């Protein structure tokens, strides 16, 4: 079931889509300016109910549950650090720690889970039938050979190596383009992108998928 752009109420949370979105949230969680989990969820265009639904749906998937716990732990540590160092109002910090992490909660008290039945109903719907793939007309041999040549000429080569600033560049790009957020694995290179590469130009360099 396809969802309109930006509408996560109608998304089917497949394993691939869940992991892709979790990686976006993980990327946002590395920023010291992203104080709490809800901020990262908002940047990734999801919300608390989706997070709770993932915990239920993927409780048997060790990789997803591990990543979710690591992300939550990162935010808990950040809230504690900022509260202790006066960078976060104490009342706000303690509210977040009580509400999301169980600080000062009575032993044995389990917080109520949100109603996520609407998300389960969407996931239970059958997948749409695959769309037929349109046939691509054959091209003459000369045209086919010309299309395989790099646009910069036969001497064009792949970039030598990625710079070590990929994470910082990726975070800044995703902040500026939340609707087109890039997901690791991806590499950042300095300089001008060769015309024959599927590069994403940004600042003084460009991004390339890691499989390049």
Handedness of CA 101, 102, 108, 110 (dihedral sign): negative
The top-scoring range by mean pLDDT among 60-74, 108-122, 127-141 is: 60-74
Instruction: Tell me the C-alpha distance between 142 and 131, whole Å.
Output: 32
Instruction: Tell me the C-alpha distance between 9 and 118, whole Å.
Output: 8
Phi, psi of 50 (to 5 degrees): -65, -45
CA-closest candidate to residue 26, choices 170, 193, 165, 133: 170
Residue 1 reports pLDDT greater than 50: no
Instruction: Tell me the C-alpha distance between 206 and 200, whole Å.
Output: 5
Residue 117 reports pLDDT greater than 80: no
Of all residues in the chain, the percent with pLDDT exceeding 90 is: 18
CA-closest candidate to residue 188, choices 200, 174, 172, 206: 206
Task: Tell me which H or E stretch contains 190.
Answer: strand 186-190
* Predicted pLDDT of residue 152: 47
Tokens 């997948």 correspond to what residue? Answer: 127
Q: pLDDT digits over 165-199, tens only?
A: 778 888 888 888 888 888 777 788 888 887 777 78
Q: pLDDT digits over 52-74, tens only?
A: 999 899 999 999 999 999 998 88
For 23, the token pair is 């990686």
Give the helix, strand, coil percentages of the chain, each rounded to 5: 45, 5, 45
Answering whether pTM is above 0.75, one says: no
Range name among 25-34, 63-72, 112-121 with the lowest pLDDT average: 112-121
Mean pLDDT across the stretch 43-57?
91
């Amino acid at each position: 079931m396809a969802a309109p752009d930006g509408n996560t109420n109608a998304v089917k949370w497949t394993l691939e889509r869940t992991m892709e979105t979790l990686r976006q949230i993980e990327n946002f969680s590395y920023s010291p300016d992203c104080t709490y989990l809800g901020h990262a969820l908002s940047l990734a265009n999801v919300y608390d109910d989706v997070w709770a639904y993932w915990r239920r749906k993927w409780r048997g998937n060790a990789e997803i549950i591990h990543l979710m716990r690591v992300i939550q732990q990162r935010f808990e540590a950040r809230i504690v650090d900022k509260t202790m160092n006066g960078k976060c109002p104490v009342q706000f910090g303690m509210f977040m720690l009580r509400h999301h992490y169980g600080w000062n909660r009575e032993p044995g008290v389990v917080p109520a889970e949100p109603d996520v039945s609407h998300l389960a109903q969407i996931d239970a719907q059958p997948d749409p039938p695959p769309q037929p793939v349109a046939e691509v007309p054959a091209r003459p041999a000369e045209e086919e050979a010309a299309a395989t040549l790099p646009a910069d000429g036969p001497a064009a080569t792949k970039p030598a190596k990625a710079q070590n600033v990929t994470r910082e560049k990726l975070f800044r790009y995703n902040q500026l383009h939340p609707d087109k957020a890039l997901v690791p694995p991806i590499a950042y290179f300095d300089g001008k992108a060769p015309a024959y590469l599927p590069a994403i130009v940004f600042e003084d360099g460009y991004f390339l998928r890691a499989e390049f």
